[in-house]
Chains A and B, each alone.
Chain A
Amino acid sequence: MTTATDRKVSIGRARPGPSRLQDLAATPESPRTPLLRSTSSIYGSPGGSFRSEDEYVVLELGSRYLRGGFPGESTPRCTLGFGPDEQRRVGDYRQWDPEYSTTRRKRKRGQEWGQEFELYRMDLSDVDLGLVEDKFERVMREAYNKYFLLDPKPRRVLLALPPLMPRELLSTVLSVLFGNFQAPSITLMSSPILSTVAAGLRSALVIDIGWAETTVTGIYEYREVHQRRSIRAGKLLSEEMAKVLDAELAKNESGSSTALPDQVSFEEAEEVLTRVGWCKSREDYPQASATSSDDDENEFTDASEIQPNETSISIPFLASRPPKTLTIPFSTLSSPAETALFASDTPLYDLDDHDQPLHLLTYHALLHLPIDVRGVCMSRIIITGGVSNLPGLKSRLLSELQAIVQQRGWDPVKSYGSASKRRNQLLRKRRQTPKTNLPHSAKSTESTDPTNPPVPLPAGLADPEPDEISAKLARLSTKTVPAATTLGGVIRGVESLGAWAGGSLIAQLRIRGIVEIEREKFLQHGLHGASREKEVSVVPQRQTLGPGVRPGAGDRGSWSLGVWA
């Protein structure tokens, strides 16, 4: 790969060049035009030079943070929050007051936990879109002026968004970007797909544990095929942490006579959560989740009290009056994750569809995928989102999932009721045979198992007869593709660099998205200008070489909102 360095050089030169052509030039297979051959514009083709203005800004917008930066960089230039400190009036410098950090601020009346730290929420009925616009505009202005330090030239925007976004909200965001920041075009990308890209995969199960909700998205060949969501996410977790801290503080206070119950503020709860919050591994957690919730809770608190030699952690609360230090057992700090994310103390029948614990949510998402997609996805589980940084959470989630799969297999029926006896028989019978409920792709590796007892089986459980043709095809494909990429059927987590990095990769490689909105068209029609069809082919049908070649590539006649439509 001698060409690799050459390529590198041409990237580093920061010449906004037709890098696709560089790609062409880099492959050794066929003869190619040297890249920098100067062709005069009259005789040469209308080449890539016209599209040289494709400089991008990559943004990732979540409900609490905005990440922004430039393509080709591994980390965003800035991560900006939407906290109340960012929403003060100009000239209001109270946050720099030394006393400010030591006073505890109350939550505003009628506001939910952490509401003033959000940019938007999915339920738009009580969201002032104008306020969203204001917040977003201010944050974008800060990003542009303080961190991007751009020259005045407008740049295209690649915007990573969650795949479900209310249209009003989307149009607010877009109009700020088009109107105030003069973006010539905006490419929308859905963040699970970008996470997949940033993990180097084509298919994955992306578990995005975000602020308001956790979404589990099955991605197959860069397409979202299934999505499930639950409200067990960051918001619930930090609220739970606040409850735990309040309880602990009250316990400490109980000796003294101060009657006023101290309420931990949002900032404090979140700081504790991000600093010392953790998640128990599956083995650590007392496995009693089948019992009723009350027993369980008792057992849990008992467990933490019984071991006196357990390490405890002291947490300073500077904002409380007087400042105090709370010393709590280390294991207590893991209980919010337990209650909020895994709902270990809640019996299953108490859980609604919208607050499924994460492991069950993931399991159900996998269960509802088609079997071959499931096989691919289950060994490509990406856990991302802010909460996923909680130490121990990823391994817990994966091992919980593993446990469910072992226990239940891929059977959508949880309880067979009166038929369960018969079912158990069936299961027993099946257990004697090697596992046949593994998905396809794993079979190629597993079927070599020699411990295949020659028991006459019902046809449904029998191994399918070896298929010569598919075997050959598989052999052919493994010749070109490393076997590691065909892994499937086992549960495996994969690390991802996150949606922002995925966007950065995509923009740097100049891959065009399905949803690309031009400024003029948006300003004319708004979102209504989008064509109804969800899929605009990015790869137009074959075109003849001729004068009419250009328009298909340069701009599209109509644009669509893709998954956001």
Chain B
Amino acid sequence: MAQPFPYTYYSCDCYDSATLAPTSKRASHPARAEEEDERTFDPRNPRSNYSLYPLEHLLYCEDCRQIRCPRCVSEETLNWFCPSCLFEVPSSMIKSEGNRCTRNCYNCPICTSSMTVSSLEPPKVPTADDTGGLAGPFFLSCPYCHWSTLDIGIEFEKHTGITQQLARIRNGGKVVPTPKEREKERDKKRDAEARDESVAKADELSPEDLNPSEPPPQEELFSNLFAFYKSQLSLAAPSNPFSPHHDINFSSPSSFSRIMNLYSSTSSKKQKKDKPAPMREACSITEGLVPYNPSLDAAAVEALKTHGWSHTLSPTQKLHQTSPNTRFINELRPIPTLLRTKRGKRCRTCRHILSKPESKITSTRYKIKLLGLNHIPRLSVRALSSPIPLPTMAASTGSQGFDYARLSPGLPTHFLLTLSNPLFDPIRITLATPSTTAGKVQSRVTIMCPQFEVGANTDVWDDALSSGLTKRGATASTDPGSGTPQVEAGKIWDRGRNWTSVILEVVPGFLKPIPGFDFGLGGELAKKVDDEHELDEDDDVLEIPVFVRIEYESEVAAEDRAAAGAEHGRAGAAGGKEKREEAFWCVLGVGRIVGGP
């Protein structure tokens, strides 16, 4: 996995509970609910990718007493800002201007790094403070890959308000009319068409002939279509003003006249007469109809032929473009920077706020932050240096470390599983794991001591003052070679103030299926087997699902907890104790198994 070994993932079980709730209709999997209890967590299941999180990504709802993952919180946006200029954008702007920065922030369409505005003319007098001296046409350029708007033939007159300027320039420097101008133009054209229509029907094709090569850009077409539909709907409307689409308004003259005519005999006839004419379809480019033009296709093929691979865009570059029809490198536009948000998070079930950042944009602090880190014991794994001397291992890793990416199959390896307790109460832990891991490579896993206690997260000084010091020193001194005899079933390895570590024995499985007899298969035979049973990506990663159950007693009231933690010796006297229990699945990624024995 991409995280360095060893790592721990925590599973949020929200998807289980979510599937149980509203979906009585999932009839195709009736057996699932029953299996739910006996099922062990399978980290290889593609679904588990969606429920596993590093501990740092988890929040904790104190009211539900549950882990909350990004899936089971609802988010609300507090404010919007541009990550590049850190300008806060009001929500009204978001509605009107969209989700991108409207100032001078642009990203390079090739490499997505942020672009800078620079002047074409070299500054004549190299005085830095002369801001007025910035002269001449400007352009946007990428400091990383040196793409610039000059490549698409765009220059700017001013160095501010790039968005407004860019909106008016098409690639190649042609000026685009603003939407308003376009609308006027369109109306003019349509009027002209209407006048012409009676005179000469023959030259209907004239609007298409006027611009034969290039269809208008998507935006313009869209607005043409929209205007067309709008006018058509409004034409259709009077014939049927009482259709329920419209909110009937008693005060409108049309309905008034209808009320007046309700009882008169003439009106009913009149009503019948004007049958609603069906809305017609668009018939010209000003109304949004673009007949297919084969010359464009031919041109695209020709461009491909002459310019080749480097002229085209990669899929990601294409996706970044706002216009979906961008194909070639000369059609690129600089990408306005996407705005970001600061979001508060609430628990989805009880609506309590789980985290809320400070609203100031440059501040990274939080007003409320209920982290899983502070409520869930942290499991961490590290290798206990291998008791069985291994020539390869010793050679490759030396004495200082253990190579997690090279676990040898078939050799028992010991890992130290340490649980540290963030709570102010001592906890009892029960661990469980399936004895063999799921998946293609079956490894055997044994937790030497599945039940133990972890001390409370008391003041650090308590630890220092108590006799813990000597103990720790002892742990540190256990050197790799001599540590073997201490591994003993049913006993914890070591403990400290708020942590306890136990031994995890792992026998990594074989990557290629061994038929059951010896390891000494011939090289070529093994190769053949290997080819047949090729492994997928990450099949060789040894991940151990562990079920963790915590029991502890704690004060009922949350605010007393700190006090109770400080002097937990007489916690029993305080009364109001409450037994609490939590359970969740964890996945320990201990390493990668190497191929050969």
Interface members, chain A 183-229 (any B CB < 8 Å): 197-203, 221
- Scan A505-524; emit 1 where CB is below 8 A from any B CB, else 0: 10011111000000000010
Check A90–B57 contact: CB distance below 8 A: yes
- B225–A200 contact, CB under 8 A? yes
From B26, B259, B318, B323, contact of A168 by CB (8 A)? B26
B465 within 8 Å of A by Cβ?
A: no
Q: Which residues of A contact B309 (CB under 8 A)?
A: 275-276, 313-316
Other-chain residue from A97, A200, A203 in contact with B2 (beta carbon distance below 8 A):
A97
A149 touches B300 (CB 8 A): no
Contact between chains at B247 and A51 (CB < 8 Å) = yes
Contact string against B for A residues 350-380, beta-carbon threshold 8 Å, 1 for contact and 0 otherwise: 0000000000000000000000000000000
Picked from A134, A398, A495, the residue with its CB within 8 Å of the CB of B290 is A495
- Closest A residue to B293 by CB, please name it: A495
Report if A394 contacts B (CB, 8 A): yes
Chain B residues near A5: list those with CB within 8 A: 180, 183
A157, B305: Cα distance in complex, Å: 43
Task: Kindly supply a per-residue 1/0 record for chain A positions 375-405, scoring 1 wherever the CB is within 8 Å of any chain B CB and 0 otherwise.
Answer: 0000001010000010111110011000000
Chain B residues 1-25 with CB under 8 Å of chain A are: 1-3, 9, 15, 18-19, 21-25
Asked if A141 and B70 sit within 8 Å, CB to CB, the answer is: yes
With an 8 Å Cβ cutoff, the count of chain B residues facing the other chain is 126
**Is B472 an interface residue when CB atoms closer than 8 A count as contact?**
no
- B564 touches A (CB below 8 Å): no
Shortest Cβ distance from residue A517 to the other chain B in the assembled complex, whole angstroms:
13
B338 touches A146 (CB 8 A): yes
In contact, B289 and A482 (Cβ under 8 angstroms): no
- Total A-B Cβ pairs within 8 A: 343
Residues of A within 8 A of B537 (CB): 105-106, 108
What 0/1 pattern do residues 194 to 221 of B give for CB contact below 8 A with A? Answer: 0001000100100000000001001101
Which of A87, A150, A330 has the largest number of chain B CB atoms within 10 A? A150
Do A542 and B53 have beta carbons less than 8 Å apart? no
B292:A145 contact, CB within 8 angstroms:
no
Q: Is A470 an interface residue (CB 8 A)?
A: no
The listed residue with most A CB atoms (<10 A of its CB), out of B2, B18, B259, B341, is B2
Knowing A130-B47, A281-B298, say if A74 contacts B223 (CB, 8 Å): yes
Measured CB to CB, the nearest residue on chain B to A145 is B75
Question: Chain B's nearest CB lies how many Å from the CB of A260?
Answer: 10
Please tell me if the beta carbons of A495 and B279 are within 8 angstroms of each other in the complex: no
Select which of A12, A129, A485, A543 is within 8 A of B28 by beta carbon: A129
- The answer to whether B244 touches A30, judged by C-beta atoms less than 8 angstroms apart, is no
Q: Closest approach, in angstroms, between the C-beta of B32 and any C-beta of chain A? A: 8
Assess the A21–B1 pair: CB atoms within 8 A: no
B124 at the interface (CB under 8 A from A): no
A92 touches B282 (CB 8 A): no
Q: What are 11 residue pairs bridging A and B, where the CB atoms are less than 8 Å apart in the complex? A: A18-B247, A23-B237, A24-B238, A27-B235, A33-B253, A74-B222, A75-B218, A129-B29, A168-B27, A172-B26, A485-B283
Q: Which residues in A have some Cβ–Cβ distance to B below 8 Å?
A: 1, 4-5, 7-8, 12, 14, 18, 20-21, 23-24, 26-27, 29-33, 37, 39, 44-48, 50-51, 72-77, 79, 81, 87-94, 97, 105-106, 108-109, 124, 128-131, 133-135, 137-138, 141, 145-152, 168, 171-172, 175, 179-180, 182, 197-203, 221, 270-271, 274-276, 278, 281, 311, 313-316, 330, 381, 383, 389, 391-395, 398-399, 480-485, 492-495, 497-498, 501, 504-505, 508-512, 523, 526-528, 539-540, 542-543, 545, 549, 552-553
List 9 additional A-B contacts (Cβ < 8 Å) besides A8-B183, A168-B28. A1-B191, A24-B234, A29-B238, A130-B15, A199-B290, A200-B228, A389-B325, A509-B229, A509-B233
